[in-house]
Every structure is written in structure tokens, then in C-alpha cells.
Structure 1
Amino acid sequence: MKKIGMIGIGMMGHGIASNLLKHGQNLSVLEHAGNQPLDALVAAGAGTFKTPKALASHCDVIILCVTGTPQVEAVLLGDDGVLQGMRPGTIVIDCSTAVPTSTEKVSQLVMAQGGFFLDSPMTRTPKEAAEGRLNLLVGGDAKLFEECKPILSCFAENIVHAGPVGAGHRMKLLHNYVSLGTVTLLAEAAACAQLSGVNAQTFVDVLAMGGGWGAALERLKPFLANGDPSGLRFSMANALKDLSYYNEMAKDTHADRTVAEAIQRTLATACQDGNPQALLPEIIPMIAQRQSH
């Protein structure tokens, strides 16, 4: 059995780690101030290490689940980073959301040191992470993908091989642009409905019976019905980060980004005017307040 090391035990990472342990995997995690509490993981058998270098020197597989590109580069390339302790043959699996050009760069550095690399970003929410039912979009060598599938299956329900290294992150950004963009569009419409005196339940019901139905509406429904934002446990700061990564990718590929830039501006204004760590449904009253002035 391969020794697995994990870096990034946040809301998503904690669910991934707990499911690896449930499936009997040999898991160690990085101690970090930003982690969710590690007590339950340690009690279930997880080991801990204080630096990425020390973790990498102990493990055959390293799974990253950090915030974004700067954090991926820091834990891999830093002074006490993974590459400082990694042994030849180590597999790095990056489940973070990252800029594809950076993914290609760090993968080359990993492989130059005798390692292997998959980008394996995820969709769905912390709820599905805890249930072991994530979707994974994987970029990398097809043979390596098949070799790693038993590990990925410990915490994912749907696993798609998107293509070579970088393809997973490209598909993730496309997915999140559509997903978060639709939520932002609905939030703006809901704010307009509120200012226009349209009943929130009527707004939801009419959209649900027509072309407005979909996952985005379902996730906003609890907030529109009773102010509960937990239907979409995704912060405005993370949404802004993902849209900025998408726009960077679109710019690099000379793709049109007129709508994407407008969505990014909406999210940037919300983060500037309010709490960036607020959950995305909470953008609705912020948009309404701004429109009413």
C-alpha cells in the first residue's frame, strides 16, 4: 500500500482525508494553521508532519488541496517544499483550482526530479467531500490516471480523464465559470426582483418551472426562502479567485471574455464592499443595496 501525504485540510480537504482513512489508506497530513481540526483524523490513524519537505520524504503520493496557484507553488517549490524532500517515483496529485500555465510549469519541475503529476481539481461542495462523492477532472498521462484511480475513488463518485497535464484545471475553470457565473446572474436577478417587489418564493417557483431551473437555483433557494446561505458553502473570495483564473486562461487562449469580465467585476465589488469570506448567496442583498443607491 502506498503511503499518502496530504496538504490542505480545509473544508474540502477534511472530507477527502476522512474518506481516505475510511478506505484503509495509509495517510499523513501537514500540520498547518489554516487546517480544520485534525483530532478526528489523528484518532482515525493519520500521521502528521510539520513541513511539506518532511511529509514528502515519507510518502509515495502527495495530494494537494490548497486555495490556489500561489499556495500550490509555495508548498511545492518553497524552501521547505515538497520538491526538497520528494523521492524519485513520487506521484503528486493536485486537487486545488489553479492557473493551467502554472500547472504545466510545476508539473515539469516535479517530473524533472523523477516524479509524476496529475492535476485533479474537484467539483461539488464540502457536503459531497464528506460523503466521498466528489467529481474529479483529471489531467495527466492515461496510464498514471488508471494507476491512481483506486486512490481517487476513495473520495470521488465521478472521475473524468480530461486529457494531458493542465486539462483538468482547464475543465475546472470552464465548469466554475459556468456554475459561479450562473449563480451570480441569478443573484443579480433576485436582487432586481426584491427591489421590484416580486415575492421571493414566486421568483423561485416561476424560474423552477421554466428555463431558469438548475443547480444554481437549487443552491440559492434556501437563502431566498429563509436567508440560509448554506446551500452553497463557497465564499465570495473563492468565487472571485476562480473567475480571475478563468479570465487569465481565456486571455492566454485569446478567447472572448466579455461576460466573464463582467461577472468578475461584480464579485470584486462585492468582496470590496463586504466580507470576502461571506458565502456566495449572501451577495444578493449586497447587490440589492448597491442598486438601491
Structure 2
Amino acid sequence: MKRTIGFIGLGTMGGPMAAHLAKAGHHVQGVDLDPAKVAALEAAGGTACASIAAACANADTIITILPRDQHVREALLGADGVIRHAAPGTLVLEMSTILPRTSLDIAQQLQAAGLRMMDAPVGRTPADARAGRLLVMAGGSQEDFVDAQPLFECFADKVLHMGALGTGIQMKVINNYMSMVSMVLTSETLTMAKKAGIATPAAVEVLQNTVAGRGQINTNFPKKVLAGDITPDFPLSLGYKDLSLGLALGHELGTPLFLGASALELFGMAPAMGRADQDCTAMLLILEQLAGIKKD
């Protein structure tokens, strides 16, 4: 069944997701602050909208994927937000990475206004978004999940129902917590090896062939910072944000996250060191600088 979808946020992940929905035959009404991104959706078969109100017109589903909590609140609950324009019964798929308590608060307000909501953030990379191979972590009722699943499958090859409302965004924050802490662990390991006089290529070869190394060292580090490329697939500034979300959730759950607290201090140094907009793997360069290792 073809749907009418209001899509709010056409950035690195949202743009390709919206394009896949349009190419699948759905009527996608997209809005973004960047006119070029709206034009890209239109070129993919979607409809360009100048406002949230226009994106909500006749839509049975609204999808939001935006950078931060305040952007999601404004888009959904603001004076000109979805809550003002969406018809009762509309399904809202909130796919941003935000604080779980923010997501639940928004959901409660939307539900009080007669709307339905699932928190359904995505995992994997921008390249996976373009290829339609994302992973969806959805939280909400089984009924809403069944309703949304055909849409998720337009841009994801793995769609998981995590449980009740809030579990999707919690899983995303937990996943990102592990990912961001692993950035620090890998950088500490390679810095220690270099300090010991071990050549980085030799250390990398060992780590790529051990259980300990089957993480960042096999995915992001070789193709980014170790290749001399620190252009941001995911910048240190957003790594700081995601680690902050993980620590906040850990505090709420009463879970001690010692390495995370230390890692946050390191991510927080990135702006002062001129690296906030560099790829997360540039954490290696921060650790090397702190260790007094001179550039090759």
C-alpha cells in the first residue's frame, strides 16, 4: 500500500532514506532548512515542501530525523510543529538520536494530542543509508511496528522491534556509547604501541588478527585516520554528543560508566585542539599529541 509521508530532516541519513521511500512509490513530502537537500529529494521523485505544515498535509505518516533534542522538540511540538498540523491517528516515526527521556516526553505529548509515535533510530553509515542497508531499532507497540515495517524496509535490510516505547532510542544510545568508547580504546592502544617503538602498521596487523581488535580497527580506523583521511563520516563533536547521551542514560539507570566519563573528557578536548569537526578516528591524533608523539 502506497503511503503519504511527511519527511522532516533531509540530511546525511534522512535524505537517502526519504529518496528510497519515494523510489518505492510512496508520496514523500520533504522539508529541510537547506533548499539543496529539498531539491535532491524532488529529483528523486519526492515533493518539495516549504514548511512543516505543508509536509503534514494529508500525510498518514510523519518521519523526523534531526540533529539534536531541541530540533526534534521544535519540529514536533513547536508553535508550527507536527502536533499542530497532523491529523489524529497519524503515525509519527521519530528516528533522531536524542535523549531517551526527551523522546518519551515528546511521545506522551503527541499521544495526548491523538497521534501515535514510535522511536525508531537507525544504525550503520551514510554509505549504508545511500544503499538502503540501514538497521532500524524500533520502540513502540506491536501494532504500530507492523504498520511501520514496510516503510522501514524501503531503506533498511534489518528491522528490529526492540520492545515498548523508548527501547529503540535507548538501544541506539547504548550502541553509540559502545561505539564512542571504542574510539578511545583503539586510540589508546595504538598510541601505547607507538610510544613503545612499535611501528603503527605492525601494531595494526596484530590487532586486526586478534579478538581484541575486531572492532573499530577493522572498520573505521584503517579507512580514515590511518589513511590520512579525517574528513568527518562522524565528527568528534557528534561523538561528544552521543557519549553524553550514553552517560546520561547510564546515570538514569544507575549504571557506572567509568571509561565513558574519561572518554567524554577526551572528546571534550577536541574543540580546543581544533578537531571538533574532524572524523571521530582523529581521537588517535589527540592521544598521540597528549603523549608527546611528534607527527611523522
- TM (normalized to structure 1)? 0.93
- For the residues of structure 2 that align with 1:42 and 1:197, how far apart are their CA atoms? 54
Per the TM alignment, residue 224 of structure 1 is displaced from its structure 2 partner at its CA by 5.1
26 and 215 in structure 1: CA distance in 2 versus 1, 3 angstrom threshold:
farther
What do residues 125-169 of structure 1 show as CA deviations (whole Å, max 9, x unaligned)?
A: 000000000011100001110111000100011111111111001
* Equivalent position of 1:8 in the other structure: 9
Number of aligned residue pairs: give it: 291
- For the residues of structure 2 that align with 1:291 and 1:78, how far apart are their CA atoms? 47
Which segment drifts farther, 185-194 or 141-150?
185-194
- For the residues of structure 2 that align with 1:213 and 1:157, how far apart are their CA atoms? 26
* Equivalent position of 2:84 in the other structure: 84
Task: Say whether the 8 Å CA contact 2:61–2:90 is kept in structure 1.
Answer: yes
- For the residues of structure 2 that align with 1:40 and 1:60, how far apart are their CA atoms? 23
Per the TM alignment, residue 117 of structure 1 is displaced from its structure 2 partner at its CA by 0.3
What do residues 65-92 of structure 1 show as CA deviations (whole Å, max 9, x unaligned)?
A: 1112121111111111111111101111
- For the residues of structure 2 that align with 1:57 and 1:223, how far apart are their CA atoms? 42
- For the residues of structure 1 that align with 2:22 and 2:72, how far apart are their CA atoms? 23
Task: Say whether the 8 Å CA contact 2:52–2:80 is kept in structure 1.
Answer: yes
* Equivalent position of 1:257 in the other structure: 257
* Equivalent position of 1:18 in the other structure: 19
- For the residues of structure 1 that align with 2:100 and 2:122, how far apart are their CA atoms? 14
- For the residues of structure 2 that align with 1:197 and 1:65, how far apart are their CA atoms? 45
Per the TM alignment, residue 283 of structure 1 is displaced from its structure 2 partner at its CA by 2.2
Per the TM alignment, residue 225 of structure 1 is displaced from its structure 2 partner at its CA by 4.0
Counterpart AA for 1:171: M
* Equivalent position of 2:100 in the other structure: 100
Query: Are positions 1:266 and 2:266 aligned together?
Result: yes
Counterpart AA for 2:104: E
Counterpart AA for 1:212: A
Residues 133-212 of structure 1 mapped to structure 2, 5 A cutoff: 133-212=133-212
* Equivalent position of 2:228 in the other structure: 227
- For the residues of structure 1 that align with 2:32 and 2:99, how far apart are their CA atoms? 25
- TM (normalized to structure 2)? 0.93
Which segment drifts farther, 267-276 or 253-262?
267-276
Name the % identity: 27
* Equivalent position of 1:56 in the other structure: 56
80 and 282 in structure 1: CA distance in 2 versus 1, 3 angstrom threshold:
same
* Equivalent position of 2:74 in the other structure: 74
Task: Say whether the 8 Å CA contact 2:270–2:276 is kept in structure 1.
Answer: yes
CA RMSD after TM alignment? 1.8
- For the residues of structure 1 that align with 2:6 and 2:57, how far apart are their CA atoms? 10
Question: When you count helix as a share of all residues, which structure comes out higher?
Answer: 1
Task: Say whether the 8 Å CA contact 2:207–2:214 is kept in structure 1.
Answer: no
